[in-house]
Structure 1
Amino acid sequence: MKLTILLLGLWSLLSTTVLAQVPQGKQRTIVTTDGEVDDVDTFIRMLLYSNEFDIVGLVYSSSQWHYKGDGKGTKFTSEMASTAKRYGERTELRWPGTTWMEAYIDKYAQVYSNLVKHAKGYPAPAQLKSLVRVGNIDFEGEMSRDTEGSNFVKQILLDNNPSPVYLQIWGGTNTVARALKSIEDQYKGTANWSTIQKKVSDKAIIYAVLDQDATYRKYVAPNWPQIKVLYNSDQFWSFAYAWPRVVPAELQPYLGGKWFAEHIKTGHGPLLASYYLWGDGQQLPGDPEHTHGSMAEARKFGRSQYDFISEGDSPAYFYLIDVGLRSLEDVSYGGWGGRMVPSKTNPYRWEDGKDVTDYNPYTGKADAAFPQTRWIPALQNDFAARADWCVKPYKEANHPPVVKLNQARDLRVKPGQTVTLSGSAIDPDGNNVNYRWWQYAEAGTYPGKVDIQQSDQAKVTFVVPADATTGQTIHLILEVTDSGTPALTRYGRVIATVTQ
């Protein structure tokens, strides 16, 4: 029994530390996408946040839902059971082409001169276009040959910059898998192989929204077992097609047509005018199943004009936006990109799932989507502010407060101890700010609740519960929201670890 406990402890330690080394500065990221309508909307919003991380690649890929075909009439049946049943044998499937990213970058170019008035670091449109490549697109899961896109991913994984590269998988994993296979083909059996394998495994972090082909399971997992994976299978639904069934009624106005018409679709420039919404009259090229633009279709599904459709892949880059929640240190802390825990079978893999729940105060129940859903008001208000940045001068738009903790972010505390916490904030627009301290109970390991005194003040106290035991953690979030329009929120997180 002692040996079992020791092994479990070591497993937990390894799982906790593989993502704990977070470098300073912007995170490098490569996007791979199959071009579905939710990918397009994800891409449009991501462009408004492209100053927050370092985009180093934009790669067209395929998936179980979208592939080009080889142009020779070759017939293909999906390896994924649901898709095989739905589509049977095909020569191509709902392919949106390989020019749509450039088209939206052109629209970004039309608002770029205004965006840079509001924040530093926006990449020039020409730079973004230089990062676009075509990857493995002929069929779902195709990874038999090198492509321009796979070679580009390979080049970045092999470069001499040791900082992490977040590989966002919006479609299938196949282009990334091909890049890794090409590295293996080149180096396996050479004296450098172990060094190269470690270098790439230390650098690559895959953020996948579901498995949309079989290449991770069949190739990446068995051949690159130490590549870190963040796997989102449940939480993304609050930002995807099923949101009306997932998001509490109280939060649904943030995804409704009235909100999107006012804050996003109209009066915010050409990039956001092209954002896809229910009943907007738009048709995604190449995809006959994109019928959301028809009002008749919207009514059939109980949707109103301009209701949100989906951005199922947005959590992959929400995770990279540093808003003070520290989730890049450890994804189990939770943040705008969701909350995941170490896999029970692979210490390099972090997952959400039915057992990773946050308490949903609207339903009074534990909820597998709420680790993502809980941030919807802050995320949507932030989106609305960025939409304003596309067209408004600095003085007429809102900008987020800058939050500072006035004590260490990590504290050692003892049972029964009274702990004082304080923070402050500067609002760049001179707006008033409101403070709210709260315990993120699910992120900590202490199973009970703490009573935060005067939680709506900048300075608060709480007493460490008497039943807290050594090693348990308590996560306290300082949430600061300004009084601007739309109101914007940033955070500070204090982690109190119990000692004796």
Structure 2
Amino acid sequence: MTTHTGPRTVVTTDPELDDLNSMLRLLLYSNEIDLRGLVYSSSQFHVAGDPERGIAPHRWPAPGERLHIDRAVDAYEQVHPHLVVHDPDYPSPEHLRGLIAWGNVAAVGDMEADTPGSDLIRSVLLEDEPGQVFLQTWGGPNTIARALRSIQLEFEGTPGWEELHARISRTAVITSFGQQDSTFDEYIRPHWPDLEHREVATRVWGYFARDVVAEEDQELLGPRWMRENVSQVGALGRAYQVWGDGQQMAEGFDAEDYFGLSGLSVAELEERGYRVWTPPQPEGAWISEGDSSNFALLIANGLRSWEHPGWGGWGGRQGSVDGDPASWSNHATIDRGPDGRPRPDWAAARWFRHIQHDLAARLQWTVQPTYDAANHAPHVRVLEGTDLTRLAGSTITLTAEVSDPDGDEVTVRWWQYREAGTSPLAVEVRAAGPRCEVELPAEAEPGTTVHLIVEATDSGTPALTSYQRVVVEIAAAEEG
């Protein structure tokens, strides 16, 4: 049985096209992310409707049509025999299907009654397991809200309620791409004020990625790279939606869904009645994976970004939200680019090449029946440990032990992730391959932290990168 090092997680999702793309990528990491539920939910953009209540469906697949979670698992089933060659910890398709449940989908903000999806979330929250549980909100948070409401209705006023409320508030973390209905503000925050919320919306993962991805990484969004590395690679890649693929989110004309078309200018799209809210792209180009930032922070790549919202990683980096000490947001942070100047969304964009290369490699796993035919990420370990306490003004020596499962050469780079630490000061990093010396500033305040990242990148195709994050807490003089 797989032993996961990260938190448990439940995904709630609506049938937006980028939710399918995010789901496909997520399943490629199901070998290392502790999935406990895959739940359909509604949002302000997608509702299944309820004829008995007079609610019409909106951007919801037609009755009988297979929805995106099921479609993604169907594709996964086709490639599972190859995936387990590359990592036997990939779960069976039957296990993944057992995680799928229908949540509250009838209306925007629907939390009127318990559903199989809300019951699943409720059960996970009531489990007496160590560690956190991340509740991912790819659509509206209403199914999560219903689960919390059901717990409150059953236990409030009982002798164990305060302890249970405190435990759930301490262990549950809600991540979201925006607020796609009102249930967080109207129910969750008033009744669960200490429950951590991370707003992980980024442009890097979404429809506007081209606005913030570095110039040298723009090719990773283009049709040639996407065709060669994603959309023409096996069953999972073929299920991935790209510009001009002829697909729609739901039947009928939708003025905002023109992604399946190609070769039309903005003016031509508008002539056909479309409201062009993001520029059309060449056939085969990247559209969006807006919700992938929710699970990217759970990927076991060594950055440990789930441990604290301010640490940062593939899902971006979140800063505290004024007026709500339990909420954090990507919009509240700014990282500096290589030129030393602040760059929009750089907290996520700085990793984009590594992110895309990792996707390409894992898609190769889906089509390569032998381990030696594909590339795999190197391993890196810091011998001195990853959580250290040292005096201001002292010198730290760190040694990275690296290896590569494919026998590739591995290049090591050390750097200070200055924005992730609570000390505002720069440190001197003197690196020579896997070994480095770090001079901690003498004026560093006790209790503050310095974050050091070691990257290990192999020489395979595509080149893959693993990390370790070393967090150094500055000790008071008497602590030695």
The TM-score normalised by the length of structure 2 is 0.90
Matched with 2:226 is 260
Output one character per residue of 1:322-378: Cα deviation in whole Å (capped at 9) or x when no partner.
11112222221111222113333333322221x41100236x531341111111011
Counterparts of 1:429 and 1:295 in 2: how far apart (Å)?
A: 40
Confirm or deny: 8 A CA contact 2:399 2:435 kept in the other structure: yes
> 1:100-499 residue pairs with structure 2 within 5 A?
100=67, 101-233=69-201, 236-266=202-232, 268-286=233-251, 288=254, 289-297=256-264, 301-353=279-331, 355-361=332-338, 365-392=341-368, 393-453=370-430, 455=431, 457-499=433-475
Counterparts of 2:473 and 2:167 in 1: how far apart (Å)?
A: 33
Q: Secondary structure at the match of 2:414?
A: strand
- Go from structure 1 to structure 2 and tell me whether the alpha carbon gap of 1:474 and 1:161 turns closer, same or farther (over 3 Å shift): closer
Q: How many Å apart are 1:252 and its aligned residue?
A: 1.2
After superposing on structure 2, the runs of 4+ consecutive aligned residues of structure 1 that deviate more than 6 Å are none
Confirm or deny: 8 A CA contact 1:187 1:193 kept in the other structure: yes
**60-69 or 24-33, larger mean C-alpha shift:** 24-33
Counterparts of 1:211 and 1:251 in 2: how far apart (Å)?
A: 29
Counterparts of 2:465 and 2:36 in 1: how far apart (Å)?
A: 28
Code of the residue aligned with 1:369 in structure 2: it is: D
* C-alpha RMSD of matched pairs (Å): 2.0
Q: How many Å apart are 1:149 and its aligned residue?
A: 1.3
Output one character per residue of 1:403-437: Cα deviation in whole Å (capped at 9) or x when no partner.
01021323333344332221121100000000100
Confirm or deny: 8 A CA contact 2:361 2:462 kept in the other structure: yes
- Go from structure 1 to structure 2 and tell me whether the alpha carbon gap of 1:173 and 1:113 turns closer, same or farther (over 3 Å shift): same
Aligned length: 457
Q: How many Å apart are 1:73 and its aligned residue?
A: 6.9
- Go from structure 1 to structure 2 and tell me whether the alpha carbon gap of 1:441 and 1:296 turns closer, same or farther (over 3 Å shift): same
Counterparts of 1:132 and 1:382 in 2: how far apart (Å)?
A: 26
Q: Secondary structure at the match of 2:472?
A: strand
Matched with 2:50 is 70
Counterparts of 1:112 and 1:292 in 2: how far apart (Å)?
A: 29
Confirm or deny: 8 A CA contact 1:291 1:297 kept in the other structure: no
Matched with 2:275 is none
Counterparts of 1:194 and 1:411 in 2: how far apart (Å)?
A: 35
5+ residue gaps, structure 1: 1-22, 76-90
Matched with 2:7 is 27
Output one character per residue of 1:114-137: Cα deviation in whole Å (capped at 9) or x when no partner.
000001321111111111111111
**248-257 or 189-198, larger mean C-alpha shift:** 189-198
Counterparts of 1:196 and 1:406 in 2: how far apart (Å)?
A: 39
Counterparts of 2:88 and 2:150 in 1: how far apart (Å)?
A: 37
Matched with 1:37 is 17
Q: How many Å apart are 1:302 and its aligned residue?
A: 4.5
Confirm or deny: 8 A CA contact 1:206 1:228 kept in the other structure: yes
- Go from structure 1 to structure 2 and tell me whether the alpha carbon gap of 1:418 and 1:191 turns closer, same or farther (over 3 Å shift): closer
Counterparts of 1:286 and 1:174 in 2: how far apart (Å)?
A: 25
5+ residue gaps, structure 2: 270-278
Q: Secondary structure at the match of 2:325?
A: coil
Q: Secondary structure at the match of 1:283?
A: coil
Identity across aligned pairs (percent)?
A: 40
